[in-house]
A and B are shown apart, each in its own frame.
Chain A
Amino acid sequence: MLNIALPKGRLGEKVYALLADIGYACPEMLEDSRKLIFEHRENGVRYFQVKPSDVAIYVEHGAADVGIVGRDILLESGAEVYELLDLGVGRCRMCVAAPKGYVDDTGRTLRVATKFVDIAKQYYAARSREIEIIHLNGSIELAPIVGLSDVIVDIVESGATLRENNLAVVEEIVPISARLVACKGSYAFQQEEIDRMCARLKERGTTCDSTT
């Protein structure tokens, strides 16, 4: 039996459809209910629906054997898991953005507003740039417009929100997409089943092996 942590929401639905298609269906998942655990003994799966940012935690601690998580959450959490496959869905980019026409003054500390504190810190530390982090939980685009920060570090999907707020991408930090992750302890004992799931996902052809 494989315990699978799926993120609630659109990404989770998309990935469940993929998994159902390759033999890991659990029809109860599609019913309208408040249940959080769904099991299908014949297909050998038990799904947990959890908050996207918690998937890596469930997997790292072994409550789930595998999980589907965005690369952004994986990088931010620093979770000690195996990142086995790029599923190629939920594609977007982690970027530095600023008001159009922004000129970086490298002579002073850069004020960076973000929800992704660790990613921003690591990115600028690698460039030896002194920054001040302004940790926000939402509407990050507002920060440079009202003078709270110079730039933002955030996820950019189509870029529409940035354009509507007169912002533009300055630099791309890393491409983001959903990844299949596995618990290290589970992998030691269930390598065959986990590798089989990986192989079926690859065969299904929706995954991308070399996106980053």
Chain B
Amino acid sequence: MTDLPGSMRAQERATLELRALYERFGYEKYRMSQFEEYAFYLRYQSFLPSEKILSFTDLDGRLMALKPDVTLSIIKSVRDGAPKSRFYYTETVYRENRQSGSFREIQQMGLECIGAISAYDLCETTLLAARSLAAVAEKRVLALGHMGYVSGLLDALDIPEHRREAVRGAIRAKSPHLIEQAAALADGEGLARLRTLCALSGPFSPTLARAEALCLNAAMSAAVEELRTVGESVSALERGGLQLDLTLLNDTEFYDGFLFAGYVQGASRPVLSGGRYDGMVRKLGKSAGAVGFALYLTELEQLEQPTAKQPTDVTLQDGAECPADLLRRADEAVSQGQRVRVLEQKEGLSC
């Protein structure tokens, strides 16, 4: 049977489209085990969005966890020194729902490129992220950012380490009014630069020009150049929706360089997040780098219109004829592309 079910949701269709797209770009499907040892996540907790992990004791007594994250398991599986690996996945993760105070199941799809990461890899991953958004929504925004740009500015302004978390929090919240106390800078010009950074988001090219004007050191300039390379390469192929947001900062240690977030109209938070995570790969004892993203399918589900019940073309009555005849008639109708419904049996068999 080659035709797709009429009740298939837009998100399910997009999943199939994206699988084909990722495979054409050389990504292989990665199917991972449902469970990991709890100790594994405990060790790398700083990379996880929450310290709460859904755990259980396996039959052999080991404390296991239902995956709160996919990327850690993929990195673990890659042999150090192996050629560049490209994987995509569709998996379920279990994370804390802060508001309900319970765990929730999250369907996500994504890809990871692990190895010696080049500028091309960053461009390719970003293009695939843009295409993934395009597959799920007409109105979308892919915002690019760079952790290196922000840490470059904090270095240039000599912000002490113990203050950086609060400063990053104020930048992430786009709050110039919170910067002063967080940074505790005597230097008025430095403070003005931090406040300017809080407003560095918007259409890609003009915002990049403003970001360039704020550069104070080589780290910031390198970040701007990397953003320019990726932004220009991707916008040449995937029109519309590309923005620059230098307040886009990771709130865990996950992404540590170039990063991005995808929004679709109607969703209150990003439905896609990705970026470079070389630090995490190194912490897992590998010498490679990595870049990837995840598309949160569960978030997209909320945006879909309720699907109407599919109309029935042929109605048959169970019990009106013998099961073999009824089955043959139903099968004939289906093979002609009709939708069949067999009504409940009212009387006993007639043959």
Residues in A lying within 8 Å of B, measured CB to CB? 57, 60-62, 78, 80-86, 182-189, 191, 208-212
Asked whether A78 and B98 contact (CB < 8 A) given A83-B173, A85-B177, A209-B177, the answer is: yes
Choose from B99, B173, B201, B266 the contact partner of A191 (Cβ within 8 Å).
Answer: B201
- When C-beta atoms are compared, the residue in chain A nearest to B263 turns out to be A188
Asked whether A210 and B141 contact (CB < 8 A) given A184-B269, A185-B267, A189-B265, the answer is: no
| Contact in complex: B268, A184 (CB < 8 Å) | yes
Chain A residues with Cβ below 8 Å from B181 are 212
17 of the cross-chain contacts (CB-CB < 8 Å) are A60-B268, A60-B269, A85-B177, A183-B268, A184-B270, A185-B263, A185-B265, A185-B267, A185-B269, A188-B243, A188-B263, A189-B141, A191-B201, A209-B177, A210-B180, A211-B177, A212-B178
- When C-beta atoms are compared, the residue in chain A nearest to B198 turns out to be A84
State A210–B184 Cα separation when bound (angstroms).
12
State A78–B169 Cα separation when bound (angstroms).
12
| Contact in complex: B269, A80 (CB < 8 Å) | yes
| Contact in complex: B177, A188 (CB < 8 Å) | no
Chain A residues with Cβ below 8 Å from B202 are 191
Main DSSP-derived SS at the A contact region: mixed
State A90–B268 Cα separation when bound (angstroms).
27
Chain A residues with Cβ below 8 Å from B267 are 62, 185
Q: How far apart are A180's CB and chain B's nearest CB, in angstroms?
A: 10
| Contact in complex: B98, A186 (CB < 8 Å) | no
State A37–B23 Cα separation when bound (angstroms).
48
Chain B residues with Cβ below 8 Å from A183 are 268
Chain A residues with Cβ below 8 Å from B174 are 82-84, 182, 187
B175 at the interface (CB under 8 A from A): yes
Chain A residues with Cβ below 8 Å from B190 are none
Q: A60-B269, A81-B173, A82-B173 are in contact. List 17 more A-B contacts (CB 8 A).
A: A61-B268, A78-B98, A80-B269, A83-B173, A83-B175, A84-B174, A84-B175, A86-B177, A182-B174, A185-B266, A186-B268, A188-B143, A191-B201, A209-B177, A211-B177, A212-B180, A212-B181
| Contact in complex: A209, B178 (CB < 8 Å) | no
| Contact in complex: A62, B268 (CB < 8 Å) | yes
Interface digits, B313-337 against A, CB 8 Å rule (1 contact, 0 not)?
A: 0000000000000000000000000
